[in-house]
């Protein structure tokens, strides 16, 4: 058969029919056969990519979509699919390029506009993202994906009431969308309506279980980049150099300190870096000293109020690693530190002085009694690594008023672990949630997760 041949109309229609019935494993098999027999048939690669994506096989899906882009260079949908895949992989810069190509090929293509808005939201370009969402909704007021993204943008801007109303509209148009219930739950909680937020979060988790059960072939295989200790050290070294030059005292804190003291380096399963400051520290001087040359970015500056930034300022390094700045407020025999937004979540470790500590040829400040500091946060077993422990959720010195905020945060993290089919880590989040309070939904999900884990390991 000639390499540039085209499948029969019957075969193409059969492939489309399998996909429209959500029979993705069968669609994959048919598309693989079709692309083997007709390697220059772009639609076959396009269909194969989407079928693989629906099963969570993102690495293989990317390989297929790259072939489709080569064979269908004027297909706006292919570039949109490519951008959506790259977004799911976390490659925001390349994802933006592909979605912009899609929009340039087909102005008014609202799916591409919505994906581009989502990418811009994650890049921190919130005004542009909001404008794109509203443009898409002007074209089609019922387009719930744009409603959801607009709700997320408003949430990022701390416009929680507006966010909740927009997300409710998204759910009217797609009532069983587990992701929309999750986002609404967080937005309602940020408004202070914890009961309604809690109900929406639990609904999102229940719907996700059903969704995963309905697609047993779904098993994400994307490559997840590990937390590089080498890159993490460089972030800390650069922060050290800038703050020392500005004569601003700071200290290693939280999980970053734990890894360095206990293990000699940052923890490979960590997700960000933490440094602390005393309360009287000039916040704007800290930010200027770190960000003046573009090495660090104060990417939430426009949307964090002065009150938010009193206690916590998140920065982003050029490689994408987060550097979290925590300011410690004295409170009798303790410090108060944590987050003010979107939910107030704080801890109350015992007050400490600072001492010098040598690490990688540099002198660092750390709490003077690290054993007590670690016990305050991680409990008596802090010497034993626990990759599933989440300090925000399970700090042993949490303030009582932040308990409900921690619950909402934990549900959000549990959703992410379940969606990625990280069964063991999801179970660990259930355990931490149940340590906060008894909950029949979380108990049922724990049983469901253990079945999933047994099936996976069996």
The closest of 45, 52, 55 to 77, measured between CA atoms, is 45
Query: Is residue 346 a part of any domain in this protein?
Result: yes
- Note whether 66 and 92 are within 8 A (CB): no
- CA distances 391 to 109, 134, 256, 376, 440, Å, are 42, 37, 12, 11, 24
Whether 51 and 135 share a structural domain: yes
Which CATH number fits the domain that encloses residue 124? 1.25.40.10
Residue-wise DSSP of 71-92? H-TT-HHHHHHHHHHHHHHT-H
Whether 20 and 155 share a structural domain: yes
Whether 264 and 153 share a structural domain: no
Provide the CB-side half-sphere exposure for 149 (13 A, CA): 30
Whether 247 and 139 share a structural domain: no
Query: Is residue 409 a part of any domain in this protein?
Result: no
- CA distances 85 to 97, 126, 146, 363, 405, Å, are 12, 21, 17, 43, 32
- Note whether 45 and 35 are within 8 A (CB): yes
Strands 334-339 and 322-331: antiparallel
- Note whether 40 and 28 are within 8 A (CB): no
Query: Is residue 71 a part of any domain in this protein?
Result: yes
Whether 89 and 234 share a structural domain: no
- What's the 3-state SS for 117-173? HHHHHHHCCHHHHHHHHHHHHHHCCCCHHHHHHHHHHHHHCCCHHHHHHHHHHHHHH
What's the pLDDT at 227?
67
Instruction: Please state the separation of Cα 29 from the chain's center in Å.
Output: 32
Query: Is residue 454 a part of any domain in this protein?
Result: no
The closest of 93, 44, 88 to 64, measured between CA atoms, is 44
pTM higher than 0.85:
yes
Q: How many domains does the chain have?
A: 2
Query: Is residue 52 a part of any domain in this protein?
Result: yes
Strands 354-359 and 334-339: unpaired
Whether 141 and 269 share a structural domain: no
Whether 35 and 147 share a structural domain: yes
What's the pLDDT at 306?
78
Whether 241 and 388 share a structural domain: yes
Query: Is residue 370 a part of any domain in this protein?
Result: yes
User: What is the distance between the alpha carbons of residues 210 and 428, in angstroms, rounded to a whole number?
Assistant: 20
Whether 128 and 249 share a structural domain: no
Domain C-terminal end among 343, 364, 398: 398
What's the pLDDT at 124?
83
What's the pLDDT at 1?
44
Domain encompassing residue 334: 229-398
Domain C-terminal end among 131, 160, 189: 160
Those residues whose C-beta lies under 8 Å from the C-beta of residue 422, and which sit 6 or more positions away, are: none
Domain C-terminal end among 357, 382, 398: 398
User: What is the distance between the alpha carbons of residues 182 and 419, in angstroms, rounded to a whole number?
Assistant: 12
Tokens 């292919």 label which residue?
78
What's the pLDDT at 229?
87
- Note whether 39 and 55 are within 8 A (CB): no
Query: Which of 203-212 are b and which e, b meaning 16 or more Cβ less than 10 Å from the residue's Cβ?
Result: bbbbbbbebb
Phi, psi angles (nearest 5°) of residue 366:
-145, 160
In the structure encoding, which two tokens stand for residue 42, read together? 């772009």
Query: Is residue 366 a part of any domain in this protein?
Result: yes
Whether 29 and 112 share a structural domain: yes
Give the chain's end-to-end CA distance (angstroms, integer): 42
Which CATH number fits the domain that encloses residue 371? 3.30.460
Query: Is residue 49 a part of any domain in this protein?
Result: yes
Whether 154 and 263 share a structural domain: no
Tens place of pLDDT for every residue, the chain, 458 residues? 445 789 999 999 999 999 999 899 999 999 999 999 999 999 999 999 999 999 989 999 999 999 999 999 999 999 999 999 999 888 999 999 999 999 999 998 999 999 999 999 988 899 999 999 999 999 999 999 999 999 999 999 989 999 999 999 999 999 999 999 999 999 999 999 999 999 999 999 999 999 999 877 666 654 445 568 889 999 999 999 999 999 999 999 999 999 999 999 999 877 799 999 999 999 999 999 999 999 999 977 777 777 778 899 999 998 888 999 999 999 999 999 999 878 889 999 999 999 999 999 999 999 999 999 999 999 999 999 998 999 999 999 999 999 999 999 999 999 999 999 999 999 999 999 999 999 999 999 999 999 999 988 86
Q: In terms of DSSP H, where are the helices of 157-228?
A: 160-173, 178-190, 194-214
Whether 247 and 392 share a structural domain: yes
């Amino acid at each position: 058969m000639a390499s540039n041949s085209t499948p029969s109309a019957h075969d193409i229609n059969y492939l489309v029919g399998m996909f429209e019935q959500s029979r993705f494993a069968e669609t994959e098999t048919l598309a693989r056969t079709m692309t083997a027999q007709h390697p220059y048939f772009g639609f076959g690669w396009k269909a194969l990519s989407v079928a693989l994506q629906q099963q969570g096989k993102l690495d293989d899906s990317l390989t297929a979509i790259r072939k489709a882009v080569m064979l269908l260079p004027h297909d706006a949908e292919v570039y949109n699919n490519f951008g959506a895949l790259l977004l799911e992989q976390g490659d925001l810069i390349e994802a933006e390029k592909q979605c912009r190509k899609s929009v340039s090929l087909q102005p008014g293509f609202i799916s591409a506009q919505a994906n581009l808005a989502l990418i811009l939201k994650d890049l921190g370009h919130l005004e542009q993202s909001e404008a794109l969402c509203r443009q898409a909704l002007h074209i089609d007021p019922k387009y719930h994906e744009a409603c959801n993204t607009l709700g997320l943008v408003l949430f990022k801007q701390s416009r929680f009431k507006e966010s909740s109303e927009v997300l409710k509209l998204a759910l009217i148009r797609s009532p069983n969308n587990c992701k929309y219930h999750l986002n609404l739950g967080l937005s309602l909680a940020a408004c202070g309506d914890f009961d309604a937020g809690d109900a929406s979060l639990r609904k999102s988790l229940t719907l996700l279980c059903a969704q995963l059960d309905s697609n047993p072939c779904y098993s994400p295989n994307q490559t997840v980049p590990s937390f590089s200790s080498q890159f993490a050290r460089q972030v800390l070294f650069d922060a050290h150099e800038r703050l020392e030059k500005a004569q601003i005292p700071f200290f290693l804190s939280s999980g970053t300190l734990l890894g360095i003291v206990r293990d000699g380096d940052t923890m490979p399963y960590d997700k960000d870096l933490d440094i602390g400051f005393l309360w009287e520290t000039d916040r704007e001087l800290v930010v200027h000293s770190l960000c003046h040359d573009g090495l660090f970015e104060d990417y939430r500056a426009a949307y964090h109020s002065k009150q938010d930034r009193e206690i916590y300022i998140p920065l982003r390094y050029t490689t994408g690693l987060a550097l979290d700045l925590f300011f410690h407020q004295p409170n009798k025999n303790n410090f108060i530190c944590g987050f003010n937004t979107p939910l107030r979540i704080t801890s109350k470790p015992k007050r400490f002085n600072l001492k010098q500590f040598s690490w990688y040829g540099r002198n660092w400040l750390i709490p003077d009694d690290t054993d007590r500091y670690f016990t305050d946060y991680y409990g008596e077993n802090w010497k034993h690594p626990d990759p599933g422990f989440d300090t925000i959720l399970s700090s042993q010195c949490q303030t009582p008023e932040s308990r409900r905020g921690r619950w909402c945060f934990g549900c959000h993290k549990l959703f992410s672990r379940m969606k990625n089919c990280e069964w063991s880590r999801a179970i660990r989040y259930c355990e931490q949630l149940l340590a906060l309070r008894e909950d029949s939904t979380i108990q049922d999900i724990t049983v469901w997760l253990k079945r999933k884990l047994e099936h996976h390991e069996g």
